[in-house]
Chain A
């Protein structure tokens, strides 16, 4: 078990380095350079060089690369955002918790909704409930998250005046938040995070419930289930005791695998709801061509995925001893 965990961790390290390296060179292979936004046609070449020197861009690529790695690994330092005029680290530390908050809530929703509906659908296979949820899940699964977001906004945040229950954007009410009581602030936050996390969670839950249903049906058909049934156990006991445990194991993996989708979804959802998280930072960076910000965002999302998968794999190995041996 220990060797499995250690090996799994050791495999993740080159993965992260690969991520960092590809990102670095990808971004440096791009035409133009980060200081472009300072230039104007009548700037003299010397000033230009000066700027480049200040940001270390005059050094050979290899040196820049090593320095960058050193900064990231030793000091969690991602350089300076030229567009935002502040260290990337500060910007990230501000945005990351917001994204994590949103994603975590969405993950919770995803798992509870997805697994719950998946089980119900599998138990009542071919029933009206099953058919209805299958179509619903498929629809949500096929829906771009921005569309779901816009529909929710339209329905509950202004489009229909009778149901104008939620704010359309932001994390808090900018005007009144400061003057609220602690409880009021909490409520303010909750009411703001509700629609974005619902959007993100429903989309992901649709995928999980589809998967869960298929997995359970597979397990239900297997022999030991038949034996359990033959022993006279009721359907419910059979499904819960025997089926569920076996079907839940792949769910752990799916959880790990759904992280990249969750984060990609977060980028869009943050854009729809004006949520000040990493997704916003990424899109801003895109329009401002903010090199160092790109690197950091890509790296952090990548790292979260790698670590998420690592945790999932280890959990999986704890549940299923066969994994360790292979």
Chain B
């Protein structure tokens, strides 16, 4: 049974054992004394037209994953197969060609647009880089894309500062969309927006995804945002995925204590169904010195002895994956061991 890249489709992106360690230099000779293990051995797949939500607290390595997948930064280890090609060792020219199929939308609509370029130049830049069409055709394509993203094409010669946050985010989406990519990393595309505008942008993304069969890696720091748009959701904690399941399954039946904690923080629309909020004690530990064993043990309400020593392994219940000793014991009935 194909657990990953569910349902219908063929695999578009396969990430295997991705690691991203940032060296910390110290001392006389600037020797590398430690590593920030921003991403530590994670694997996942995304199918054609599928959306994978990636959720976790600030600093857990979501952006690093997104950037590694597009090779905006070089991963320390692991492979990123996009349409069957390993991006991590692709020569520069081929990589550039591949970029037409994979794009990114950023969090901050103010810093993500070059203030010195017009909207037309920003959206059309990709076309110029990849030599699509002549000047006229490009302008046409830009107008077309603006329309699709809910922007008035008459604004083509305006500068980004003349737009509101939501409109600017639409410009960012248009920029990513203009090459008709197959895959887009959305790095917290709505976190910086007003709540009233958030849903507009999410609706736009959903609409575009359905219209063009786009695949998304949709990054967010709280579960409520991803719920609506994702087919599957991965929950990250300190550089590791702790739980990965179908969206509905995850929300209905969260297994990992961390996921449960995150879910309890989601505001519940129905006041009669009052849940107990599991508030996590303490702060997120530094990825510079992540806790041994299960990284969550310093804050986990269920932690047992073994959690401090042994890293939990993957448990796969019909496609619902979880990494936790206690859950493993509950489900398999056998005591956890290394």
Contacts and interface: CB of A to CB of B under 8 A. Distances in A.
Interface of A: 3, 6-7, 10
Contacts of A7: 28
A255 to B, nearest CB: 26
Interface in B26-55: 26-28
Contacts of B27: 3
Main SS class of interface, B: loop
Nearest to A7: B28
B34 to A, nearest CB: 13
Nearest to A10: B28
A3 B33 CA distance: 14
Interface in B229-278: none
6 contacts: A3-B26, A3-B27, A3-B28, A6-B28, A7-B28, A10-B28
Nearest 3 CB-CB pairs, A to B? A3-B28, A7-B28, A3-B27
A10 B27 CA distance: 12
A7 B26 CA distance: 11
A10 B30 CA distance: 12
Contacts of B26: 3
A117 to B, nearest CB: 38
A7 B27 CA distance: 8
Nearest to A6: B28
Nearest to A324: B26
Contacts of A6: 28
A173 to B, nearest CB: 54
A7 B31 CA distance: 12
Contacts of A3: 26-28
A3 B28 CA distance: 6
A44 to B, nearest CB: 58
A5 to B, nearest CB: 10
Contacts of B28: 3, 6-7, 10
A3 B25 CA distance: 13
Interface in B105-141: none
Nearest to B26: A3
A2 to B, nearest CB: 10
A256 to B, nearest CB: 22
A10 B26 CA distance: 15
A3 B27 CA distance: 6
A314 to B, nearest CB: 15
Contacts of A10: 28
A323 to B, nearest CB: 14
B49 to A, nearest CB: 45
A10 B28 CA distance: 9
Nearest to B30: A7
Interface in B1-34: 26-28
B170 to A, nearest CB: 34
B110 to A, nearest CB: 21
A24 B70 CA distance: 51
A315 to B, nearest CB: 20
A3 B29 CA distance: 9
A6 B26 CA distance: 13
A325 to B, nearest CB: 8
A7 B28 CA distance: 6
A7 B29 CA distance: 8
A7 to B, nearest CB: 6
Nearest to A2: B28
B99 to A, nearest CB: 33
A3 B26 CA distance: 9
Nearest to B27: A3
A32 B26 CA distance: 49
A7 B25 CA distance: 13
A49 B27 CA distance: 53
B30 to A, nearest CB: 8
A317 to B, nearest CB: 15
A46 to B, nearest CB: 55
B2 to A, nearest CB: 48
A5 B75 CA distance: 34
A310 to B, nearest CB: 16
A287 B28 CA distance: 45
Interface in B67-81: none
Nearest to B29: A7
A11 to B, nearest CB: 11
A81 B163 CA distance: 71
